[in-house]
Amino acid sequence: MLTAPNQPFDIGPLYYTVAPGPWGLMGLAASNKGLIHIQSVTPSEKAYVNFLKRSFVNTPQKDSKRLKPATDQLRLYLKGKLRSFDIPLDFITGTTFQKQVWRKLASIPYGETRSYAWLARSVKRPNAHRAVGNANGKNPLSILLPCHRVVQSNGNLGGYSGGLHIKRYLLELEKTGRASL
């Protein structure tokens, strides 16, 4: 699902590309400092560009070459051939709390899961399970910041903004090295 913030952000030059993924097209956007957004499913390049126009003051410029390292690493990850990413990130959106949650997501090891309760305790807000879940849902860099590795305390999947089929796919991929749609 494509959702734009209430107020567009001004980040300077804004670059984007779309690339094929296991669920259709994926959109990626970057500033001069690093990757700022991944959309695991976008209906079309035009839809992704429109999302970026609503979200940022700056006109998006297609630059597949600039975003090639990110798309290459995502392809390798989605084939089960890469376990960690080496891509500069630029946290330009989100509240201080959301950014704290997103940074903590990066500490969850490949192939493992943690609960929303664990995540809340990790950011020193032990009773903020719902707020942590909401921050997960607004993660602009899903897959790289692995919000799919966060599940309910009882082992149920919980939610995933890209859809539970994608969360299941990513967890299966990390568990077995391959996944099916």
pLDDT in tens, 1-33: 445 555 666 778 999 999 999 999 999 999 999
**pLDDT at residue 89 in the model:** 95
**pLDDT at residue 4 in the model:** 52
Question: Which parts of the chain sit beneath pLDDT 50?
Answer: 1-2
Model confidence, pTM: 0.90
**pLDDT at residue 9 in the model:** 66
CA torsion sign for 113, 118, 122, 128 is positive
**pLDDT at residue 7 in the model:** 60
Known catalytic residue at 52: no
Token pair in block for residue 120: 């809340």
| Helices vs strands, H then E, count in the chain | 6, 6
Distances (CA, A) of 173 to 50, 77, 100, 101, 170: 31, 9, 26, 23, 5
Q: Which of 147, 150, 151, 179 is catalytic?
A: 147
**pLDDT at residue 1 in the model:** 43
Token pair in block for residue 73: 């690493």
